Amino acid sequence: MKKIAFALLLACCAGASAQELIPFNSGGKWGYAAPGGKLRIPARYDYAEPFSEGLALVRSGGKYGFIDKKGGKAIPPRYQSAGSFSEGCAPVKSRGLWGCVDKAGKTAVPFEYEELLQFSGGAAPAKKGGRWGLLLRDAREFRSGIYEEIYPPSEGLARVKVNGKYGFIDLSGKEATPPVYAEAFPFSGGFAAARLGDRYGFINRSTLAFKARDFVAIGPYSEGLAHAQALEGEGRCGYIDSEGKQAIPALFAMCASFEGGLAPALKDFHGGWGYIDKTGKAVIDFKYSQASGFRGGIARVSLGGRSFYIDAKGFEYKK
């Protein structure tokens, strides 16, 4: 779960639903600050996630739990691992198995899964008896399949891996796109980036729509753009639209997906990560050793061996 969650985090906002409280790193301990940096919840946690649906995931004494916006222990730290709330339910691990709890800390999904990711559209990827499938919350039903991997649904479709190839299933478990792609990313705006053989392009729900232009690599389609590395230009990274046309020149050593109008980018391999807007202009300096996408107006970055959050103006929530 950690591996998938981390991949999703890096795959990357300066826009909707800005955080009321932001994780704040003070000397290696985590608390929460108001926008602008005023500390609201003391820095006493070993780990802290942004608030989601009114509660924040924290770690204390080696266990995970949830706090409210006043710093109260809404769900005391008692779990081996956990994910943030989504659709009123948070995946948590206890005694080696995953289940899901509601905001009162009551069991909403029994602890009987080897893996359990967050719910999206009423469904969550889960692993039981060594087999991945979709857990349908309302139907209280687990529909397993022949999947090697399964990812959280996006726009009603979940990406799956079968025999080393990727395809998509709908929330009933029915195959929507056959597993024929060497690579595939989540749907966004009706399109998903994919690779078939050695060709990169975009698919929609029913057809393969690859364009003539060739790329070394292509990333997830998000907010109307996908990052791509062209054959020319020494494989540098830029952004293309759903027609395969260059929207932002390939000027970067590496780059990631847009969210909320900003995207992480690495200017060159000897420098650091920063953030660009949709014109390709740098809006946050290229200085970070790691940079995630913006979520709810904040992004997690690393600098000098420390991890902390920044807002869309580049303000750093650390001391």
Core vs surface per residue 227-245: b (16+ CB within 10 A) or e? bbbbeeeeebbbbbebebe
pLDDT tens readout for residues 72-125: 999 999 999 999 999 999 999 999 999 999 999 999 999 999 999 999 989 999
pLDDT in tens, 210-234: 554 567 788 999 999 999 987 665 6
Residue 138 covered by a domain: yes
Confidence of residue 209 (pLDDT cuts 50, 70, 90): low
In a 3-state reduction of DSSP, which class is residue 46?
coil
What does the pLDDT look like over 143-190, one tens digit per residue? 888 899 999 999 999 999 999 999 999 988 889 999 999 999 999 988
Mean pLDDT calculated for residue range 260-273: 94
Mean pLDDT on 128-134: 93
- Yes or no: say if 317 and 36 are a contact pair by the CB < 8 Å rule: no
**Residue 76 falls inside a structural domain:** no
Tokens matching residue 141 = 């039903």
What is the structure's pLDDT at 204?
85
Residue 80 DSSP class: S
Residue 151 lies in a domain: yes
Domain count of the fold of the chain: 1
Residues 238-263 have pLDDT tens digits of: 999 888 888 999 999 999 999 989 99
- Convert 215-234 into a string of H (helix), E (strand) and C (coil): EEEEEEEECCEEEEEECCHH
Domain presence at residue 95: no
Note the pLDDT tens digit of each residue in 12-58: 333 334 568 999 999 999 999 999 999 999 999 999 999 999 999 99
Residues in contact with 295: Cβ distance below 8 Å, sequence separation at least 6, in sequence order: 13, 50, 259
Residues 190, 192, 193, 196: is their CA dihedral positive or negative?
A: negative
Which range of residues forms the domain containing residue 152? 119-181
Residue 204 counted as domain residue = no
Q: Report the pLDDT value the prediction gives residue 208, as an integer from 0 to 100.
A: 60
pTM of the model: 0.87
Question: Two tokens at 188?
Answer: 């966004």
Provide the pLDDT for residue 215.
75
The answer as to whether 146 is a domain residue is yes
Q: Whole-angstrom Cα distance, residue 188 to residue 50?
A: 23
Report pLDDT for 134: 93
230: in domain: no
Residue 304 within any structural domain of the chain:
no
Cβ(142)–Cβ(100) under 8 Å?
no
* Tokens representing residue 107 in the block: 């069991």
